[in-house]
Amino acid sequence: MSETQQLTRLGVEKVGSRLGAVIHGIDARQELSEEEKTFLNTELVKNKVIFLKRQFLDDEQHERFARVFGKPILHPTIAAPEGTNYTFELKSRYGRSTDSWHTDVTFVPDYPKASILRALHIPPYGGGTIWANTATAYDALPQPLKNLADTAWAIHSNDYDTNYYKFDAKQSEIADFRAEFISRIYETKHPVVRVHPQTGERNLLLGHFVVGLDGFSTRESNALVEIFQNYITEVENTLTWRWEEGDVAIWDNRATQHYAPADFDHHPRQLRRITVQGDIPLSVDGRASYYLRRP
């Protein structure tokens, strides 16, 4: 098949105003051509999150497909399921999910460039995922808040409680996962605004791994982070994906946050994710993120 024929059969269906597109004409189970790989990477940067419907990848195909976007990497603390090399399993525990806004693994400096997530078992209702555009969120800030964000730095760590605002009787049910998650403690200092290495856009770099803002008290940090987060999670700045089994989502982890509502009761929900290696963020004035603490 010629390059012209390949590109002609590829399609992009926009699904959100500020982010999101479904890609047509790609079979992720097969080895892709260079033209198809370039097309996917271009659309990912442009749309922030892209979807391939009903691909039904196995673990080996998932890993090969992830390599289209970069070098697969292991999670810093969570072991891959047996028989896989880089997989991070998202399996519902007692109806729980990662129901707080975050960018993946920002507690290390070179957090993932992109995440590739596939759906294995989806509940009969609920169980979707919501993404937000951190570039348009920055653009919406009034100039005084932009000035503050451009110069502020945040401390990110995995030593926190994902459901910190939901203390209830079910906390003990995720104790084993939490113990593994914080088995090695990382702490990283990131600029609140990172410059995207490909687009030059300014993105707010926050989410639930933030434990404080450098130079501010806890009370002040919490108030400021909430203000910035409200711009990120404004409904018009988000996109919700209703999964079907076999779907694949790929998101630019440098330019988005995401949230998985725990709205499916005790029904099974299982997805598998592979992340690919990222670069170290640079602030508006060119300074790089760095470790404050690592094992």
CA dihedral 225, 116, 293, 279 (to 10 degrees): -90
4-18 tens-digit pLDDT: 445 568 999 999 999
Structural domains for the chain: 3-293 (3.60.130.10)
With 80 as the cut, is the pLDDT of residue 169 above it?
Answer: no
Q: Say whether pLDDT at 225 is over 90.
A: yes
Report the pLDDT value the prediction gives residue 6, as an integer from 0 to 100.
53
Mean pLDDT within 34-61: 98
Name the pTM for this structure.
0.93
Q: What is the pLDDT of residue 2?
A: 47
Please tell me the predicted confidence (pLDDT) of residue 181. Answer: 82
CA atoms within 13 A on the CB side of 109: 14
Among candidate residues 102, 98, 208, 223, the one with its CA nearest the CA of residue 159: 208
Token reading at 240? 């919700």
Amino acid at 243: W
Q: Please, are residues 115 and 75 in contact by the beta-carbon 8 Å criterion?
A: no
- N residues, the chain: 295
What DSSP string runs through 16-63?
-SSS-EEEES--TTSPPPHHHHHHHHHHHHHHSEEEE-S----HHHHH
Dump pLDDT digits (tens) for 198-223. 999 999 999 999 999 999 999 999 99
Amino acid 7: pLDDT: 55
Q: What angle do CA 223, 139, 199 make, to 5 degrees?
A: 120
* Res 160 pLDDT > 80: no
Per-residue pLDDT for 167 more than 60?
no
* CB contact at 8 A, 215 and 196: no
